[in-house]
């Protein structure tokens, strides 16, 4: 699991980039040539299940999947907007992938956001940004 970094970056797909791993993650018992490259910036439960199913597991598999579900880890960072929609790694599942529009950061951060484990990482606005200035409709502007 990644270290908990509470920053505005966690509200965007790019928040996964510093989490790595830098090298290809090979799960125990997995085949390094057939196992997908798992990194936080491309992790979804579907890709993780695909990799974990190939490992002899027994009861540990069920416990692991229960833990992920209980924490609210499902789409990882893949459904968060990309700060740079022109980044070649910006996932097709990002809400601004098709429009290629840069997100309004103030709008995205207004009210806070959820981190990777959505049931535990619910970052209030005051925690991720400080000294804010809002417009007349309550949207962050500075």
Determine the Cα–Cα distance for residues 81 and 111; give it in Å rounded to an integer. Answer: 16
Q: Are 102 and 86 in contact (CB under 8 A)?
A: no
Q: Give the separation between CA 92 and CA 104, rounded to whole angstroms.
A: 19
Cis, bond preceding 80 (omega within 30 deg of 0): no
In this structure, what token pair is assigned to residue 9?
A: 């970056």
Cβ neighbour number for residue 140 with a 10 Å cutoff: 19
Predicted local distance difference test score (pLDDT) of residue 17: 83
Q: Spell out the per-residue pLDDT of the chain, length 142, in tens.
A: 555 668 899 899 998 887 766 666 655 555 555 555 667 777 777 667 666 666 665 567 778 778 888 988 888 888 999 999 999 999 999 999 999 999 999 999 999 999 888 898 899 988 888 778 888 998 888 7
Question: 3-class DSSP state for residue 26?
Answer: coil
- Tokens 């966690």 locate to 10
Instruction: Look at residue 12 in the predicted model and tell me its pLDDT.
Output: 94
Position 80 scores a pLDDT of: 94
């Amino acid at each position: 699991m990644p270290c908990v970094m509470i920053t505005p970056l966690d509200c965007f797909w790019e928040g996964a980039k510093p989490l790595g791993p830098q090298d290809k993650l090979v799960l125990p018992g997995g085949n390094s040539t057939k196992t997908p490259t798992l990194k936080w910036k491309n992790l979804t439960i579907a890709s993780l299940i695909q990799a974990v199913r190939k490992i002899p597991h027994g009861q540990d598999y069920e416990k692991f999947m229960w833990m992920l579900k209980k924490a609210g880890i499902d789409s990882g960072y893949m459904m968060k907007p990309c700060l740079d929609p022109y980044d070649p790694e910006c996932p097709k599942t990002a809400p601004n992938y098709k429009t290629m529009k840069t997100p309004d950061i103030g709008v995205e951060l207004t009210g806070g956001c959820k981190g990777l484990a959505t049931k535990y990482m619910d970052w209030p606005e005051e925690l991720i940004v400080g000294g804010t200035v809002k417009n007349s409709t309550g949207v962050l502007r500075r």
